[in-house]
Amino acid sequence: MRELWFDLREAIARAEETITGYTAGTTNEPPEPWLVLDIPGARLWFTAVNAPRPRSGAIAAVHDDGPPPRAGAFPLYRQPLTEPDIDGENTLDQLRAAARQGHRWLVVDTSVPPRLRTAAAYDTDRVPETAVWTPGWLATGDLGPYPGQVAHGYQHNGSAVFRLTGETVQRIAADSNARPFKFPEQDADLLVLRHHDSSIEMFVVRVPGANTLGHHNEPFVVETRQLTAGPDGWYRLTAGRWPWRHASPPALPTARRRGQRRQHEPDVFEAEGPDGSRCTVCGATGYDIAHQELPSMAGYGTDTTTSCRICGSSETCAEEIGWSSHRTVWPPVLDPSPTADEEGTRP
C-alpha cells in the first residue's frame, strides 16, 4: 500500500492559517476548514468550504512510499477538520494532540477511502537534506550521555539518528575502552580509531573476558567501519551496534548568566528569521514559542521567560537569580498502550 508522509507541524500551521485567513460569507457562518488531498500529485492543502476558491499553499509529501498510483484512480479527497465526530472529537484537535506528544508526521494511507494517521518517526538509513538537526543528548547501552545533533522525526531500525563531532567519537572510544578494567570477567568491545583527514577508520575489537584461571583469550576484530565527516564536519554513528536513545544532559547549575555556558551546552532557543525563534530541543517555531515579561520580584527591572508550547523547554532571565534554562528530553517516552493518535485519525 502506498503511503504519503507530510510534515505534521506545517500541515497544522497551514490549517490554522486557513481558519483565521478567511471571513464568513453572507450567511455569517464561520468558514469550515477542509483538508484536500491530491493522491496522484502527492500533495495536500486546506480550504474554507464556503469560500469561492481561496486555499492554502500546497504541501508536498516529504516521503512517498509504495507503488505509483494508477492513472485516474484517485479523485481529490476532502475531509472536514473541525467538524466533531460521534465522540465529539475533530481531526484538527487530534493532529494538535499528536504534535504535543512528539509526533512529526501526518501519514496518508492511500486506501479507498484514504486513512489519516500520525507518526513520531520515519525509519530510514538515509536522512534527506530537508531533515532538521537540533542539539540533543543521547546514550547507547551504558555509555553516555553524549552531546550531538538529532534528526528529529527520523530513526534507523528503532534507533535515534544522531551525528557527532570527531571529539565526541573519541570520547565514546575512550569510554568503551575503559570497560575491561571495570569488568575484567566480561567480554568487551574496544574501539580503535585511525584518523585520515576527514574520515575515521574504526575497528571494533572483541576482548574476551577472563576465565576462571584469570587468563584472557586473544582479542579479534569483529567489525571495521569507515566514518566520513559531512560537509559541516559531523560524523554519523548509526548501526545495529549503536542503538541510540534520547537521554537527559549532565547536571548543570540551576542558574547562569548569558555567556557563562559550559562546553556543549546550547541555548534552548536560536534566532529564526528577523523576529522569530526556534526551539533547539524539538525544532518548534512561530506560534509554538511563547514569550512572557513580568516586573521582577527584585523590585527593579523585568523578568523574561521564553518557553516552547510543544516540548516544554524554557529559558528564564530573572534579576534575582540570573539566567537559567530547562531542556526536556525529546521526544517524550510515549505510552506503549495504543492511543487514538497511534491508531490513526478517523476520516
**What share of the chain has pLDDT > 90, as a percent?**
10
Model confidence pLDDT, tens digit, residues 5-39: 999 988 988 888 887 765 444 445 555 788 989 88
318, three cell numbers: 530573572
Give pTM, 2 decimals. Answer: 0.67
Model confidence pLDDT, tens digit, residues 229-259: 777 788 887 666 678 888 877 654 444 444 4
User: Is the confidence at residue 264, as pLDDT, over 80?
Assistant: no
Cα 109 from chain centroid (whole Å): 22
Model confidence pLDDT, tens digit, residues 274-294: 777 888 888 888 778 888 888
- 69, 60, 84: which is closest to 10 by C-alpha? 60
Can you give the length of the chain in residues?
Answer: 347
pLDDT band per the 50, 70, 90 thresholds, residue 111: confident
CB 105 within 8 A of CB 116: no
The percent of the chain in helix, strand and coil, each rounded to the nearest 5, is 15, 40, 50
